[in-house]
Amino acid sequence: MRCVGWVRGLSVVAILVATQCGASAQMAPDEPDAIPDAASLEAEDLSPDDVSAGDLTAGGLEAAVAAELAGGLGAGGGARLDLAEFGPGGLDSSMAGIASYALFAPVPSSAPTLRGGSATDPVLLFGGYDVWRNGHTIYSGLHWAANGLDHDGFVIRLSISNSAERYFTPRRTYVTDIFRAAVMPGWRFKVGAFELKLFGGPDFEHHNLTPAALQTDWRGPHLGLRIGGEAWAQPIPELMLAASFDATTIAEGFGFRAAAGWRLLDAFWLGPEFYGSRDELSRQTRFGLHMTGLQSGPVQWSAAMGVLRDSLGRDGNYARLAAQIRP
């Protein structure tokens, strides 16, 4: 299932509007390594030499990867990424489950820099792009509030994303391409300078693993339940605190983000952010610097960059650029 086009189209809506307004905010981190496209890898013919008999037997993928790691990385590497660490879900789940919507929560609608709309605006569009050396995610979504974005009451969050991750062994490169979509009704609470949104609803994921001949428990479509929350607080006008989380029953995925920022030049917040995620098989932590709330016409921008640690040894840097708008 290939839904990249739909995700890409929706996620750049805010960015296109900003371009038409003639202003933008740019971030230029070190360019990560190019990510192989899953479609191009799928198009390559797999010869019998590319897929061993062990790859196609029950538990064969994990056993083959462990054997390759032991041969290519030495006994220490093979022990660190052995069959027990990959678990019953296989390589597909260990690569895929750590991407969480908690990382991509928009700036709350009550943030004072979000201009160009009224308190009764019912819709907030958001989208962005996240990249690191072994993966990337493009995402988009919207909040619809029955009583307006700045008032308490019923709210619905729709979100979609498409992510690709790669994993290397001495014999081949594996690529996991995952489409996610969630429809989560919820409620917005606001007391003074504190805002909280809580959500819950059906979750859908479609996992595609390359090479296509390999079999794993998490290949194909899966339905589940996702819950999430977003919080924003300003103890004083110059200080912001934000947190978000979400969890899904698919591969027991979970993610949490916390950030703080100080108001600079009365234009944006700048400060540290921390992100942690896990599923039943893998874990990832990130620590970086974020810039939040830079206004460009009707569009509000955020950006972040930092370092990450991955339980599969795929450490490196990450960067993120996002935008949101009240249409």
Q: Is the pLDDT of residue 174 over 70?
A: yes
Q: Is 164 helix (H, G, I), strand (E, B) or coil?
A: strand
Q: Please write the tens of the pLDDT for every residue from 296-310.
A: 888 999 999 999 998
Residues found in the chain: 327
Domains assigned to the chain: 4-20+30-325 (2.40.160.40)
The dihedral through the CA atoms of 274, 279, 280, 284 has a sign that is negative
Q: How far apart are CA 85 and CA 99, in angstroms?
A: 18
Q: What is the mean pLDDT of residues 84-106?
A: 51
CB 261 within 8 A of CB 269: yes
CB 232 within 8 A of CB 260: no
Q: Is the pLDDT of residue 88 over 60?
A: no
Q: Please write the tens of the pLDDT for every residue from 11-26.
A: 444 344 333 433 333 3
Q: Please write the tens of the pLDDT for every residue from 284-296.
A: 999 999 999 999 8
Q: Is the pLDDT of residue 113 over 50?
A: no
> Pairing between strand 153-168 and 173-191?
antiparallel
Choose among 300, 297, 299, 235: nearest CA to 262. 235
Model-wide pTM > 0.75 = no
Q: Is the pLDDT of residue 69 over 60?
A: no
In the structure encoding, which two tokens stand for residue 103, read together? 């990382």
